[in-house]
Amino acid sequence: MQLFLDTAKLSEIREAMDWGVVDGITTNPSLLRAAMEEEKSESLEAHVREICRLAGRGKPVSLEVMGLKAEEMVEEAKILYRKFNPVARNVVIKIPVCTSTGEGRVEEGLRALKELSRLKIPTNATLVMTPEQALLAAKAGARYVSPFAGRIDDLVRSRLGIPFGKYDYFDFSLLREIGRIRLEERVGGRQEGLGMLYQDGELRALMDPGQNDGILSGVELVRITVKILRYYKFKTKIIASSLRHPRQVREVAEAGADVATVPFSVLRAMLRHPKTEEGIRLFSQDAEKAGYRELFR
């Protein structure tokens, strides 16, 4: 599985690329704004060029359009690709899979993806929240689709009234087990026929506790997306996005995601474990006592 860094901060990109484990960069307007303010960059264009340069040749950098109509997005994509792809031949254009805000046309993103595919400009379909959206984006020719695992976790926890911080791990396996136990308690000893039980609103709610069309977590969104796109042999790669915890990275790797994109803080946390740190302390102490430094002279 590839790892992309989800940031626009030049300092983070420099350090992470030096580790030798980062395969690309994903950005968005919010990340760029925060990076520009923190690093006091005066030119957005120069900042973006530096991101592309630091990532290096062949390591994808996702840059997002601003328009909401297909024609606008295609034109903006061509401009971004023309301006920044020559830096390191690594630009991928982020296109929202659906640009509707609740009203108006819903297909603009698909139309843009299809046209950019025809123009051979690589795209990343973003803000994917369902496997159905991922399927449509793949059919439209997206090179990547980005299911937003963390935001689905946020949605489910909010609907269930579970308090959480942005980087808290969501133990959806525990939630599923609680649901199973409550379902058994609800059904146990009842004599109604299957038809009556099927119509029981509380039972149906227990089968979809997050009220999210049967998808209980972001990891499950990624797993189902992988299953569908691989079954039908799409070439589209799946970027598990909006990951906020190292355990999520492990779980999307188990689910078969092609890429996980993570903030720098999560990348660092993936290296840490208290027993690793304890081992380093003990080995260092014993090496000093044994005069181990003599071996290196």
Q: Is the pLDDT of residue 200 over 90?
A: no
How many residues can be counted in the chain?
297
Mean pLDDT of 235-248: 97
Q: Is the pLDDT of residue 196 over 90?
A: no
C-alpha–C-alpha distance, residues 54 and 47, integer Å: 11
pLDDT band with cut points at 50, 70 and 90 for residue 290: very high
Q: Which residues fall within 8 angstroms of residue 88, CB to CB, at 6 or more apart?
A: 52, 53, 55, 56, 57, 58, 59, 61
Q: Do residues 75 and 111 make contact, with C-beta atoms less than 8 angstroms apart? A: no
Beta bridge partners of 240: 260
* pTM assigned to the model: 0.94
CB neighbour class for 289 (10 Å; exposed up to 12, middle 13-18, buried from 19) = exposed
Task: Give, for 227, the enclosing helix (H) or strand (E).
Answer: helix 218-231
94 noted as active-site residue = yes
pLDDT band with cut points at 50, 70 and 90 for residue 62: very high
Mean pLDDT of 162-187: 92
Question: Helix, strand or coil for residue 128?
Answer: strand
Q: Is the pLDDT of residue 201 over 90?
A: no
Q: Which residues fall within 8 angstroms of residue 218, CB to CB, at 6 or more apart?
A: 147, 148, 149, 150, 151, 152, 153, 170, 240, 242, 248
User: Can you give the pLDDT at residue 104?
Assistant: 81
Q: Do residues 172 and 252 make contact, with C-beta atoms less than 8 angstroms apart? A: no
Annotated catalytic residue: which of 9, 59, 94, 114? Answer: 94
Q: Is the pLDDT of residue 40 over 90?
A: yes
Q: Do residues 249 and 134 make contact, with C-beta atoms less than 8 angstroms apart? A: no
Q: Which has more confidence, 200 or 233? A: 233
pLDDT band with cut points at 50, 70 and 90 for residue 160: very high
Chain centroid offset of residue 143 CA: 15
pLDDT in tens, 259-286: 999 999 999 999 999 999 999 999 999 9
Domain ranges for the chain: 2-169+214-296
- DSSP secondary structure string for all residues of 30-58: HHHHHHHHHTT-S-HHHHHHHHHHHH-TT
Tell me the CATH number for domain 2-169+214-296: 3.20.20.70
